Amino acid sequence: MSATIDFTSAAFAKTETGQQEIQRRSLGLSPLVRRILVLVDGQRCGKDLATFAAGGDIDAILEELVDKGCIEARPREKREKTEAGAAPAAGAPGQGATFLARLPASAERTPAQNDMARHFMINTVNAIFGQHTRVSLVEGIALAQGTDALRQAYLSWEEAMLGSRTGHKRLPEFHSKLLNVL
């Protein structure tokens, strides 16, 4: 059955079996496969989940979860719109490309500003999620060299923040602080 699924672009949602597996741990999933199961939310596609697989084969992981009945492919749900049904304002949470477009040219940023942006993103990840919980994200930010690489790391940072209630709530505040250095 899983052979007909495009794991890269399909969105996945937990089934009742998947919900039970999170509670009971009865299927003996490896830690990486279990982590991906926990992150499945009905909106993330295989490409999105691959960022959390840290060197694992996301197609194989998703195929295992589908075959064990823990997840199923679904159409991607659209993000909520603002009150009047319009798209969120520029710089609003979840609008990473819009936020990045508002930033000054990369050449205008100094190495000191890059260090401040890097440390700010790492510190917010550690504050929101706790140390040692988003290691691959922190490593990606820490290894980002130059403004352009930091701006690419920003997109993963923003996605992680949107996945947390506290991070989502504080994202506008974080944006205003990052705007000065990123």
> Same structural domain for residues 136 and 66?
no
| Domain's final residue, options 21, 40, 74 | 74
pTM of the model: 0.47
> Same structural domain for residues 57 and 111?
no
> Same structural domain for residues 62 and 108?
no
> Same structural domain for residues 63 and 103?
no
Does some domain include residue 141?
yes
Structural domain range at position 171: 96-178
Q: How far apart are the first and last CA of the chain?
A: 45
Scanning the structure block, which residue is given the tokens 């990052």?
Answer: 178
- For CA atoms 7, 12, 15, 19, the dihedral sign is positive
Domain count, the chain: 2
Give every CB contact of residue 119 below 8 A, 6+ residues apart in sequence.
none
Mean pLDDT by 10 residues, the chain (182 residues): 70 91 91 90 84 82 93 65 39 61 83 90 86 81 87 84 84 83 82
- Cα radius of gyration rounded to whole Å, the chain: 18
> Same structural domain for residues 114 and 174?
yes
What does the longest C-alpha to C-alpha distance in the chain come to?
54
Does some domain include residue 36?
yes
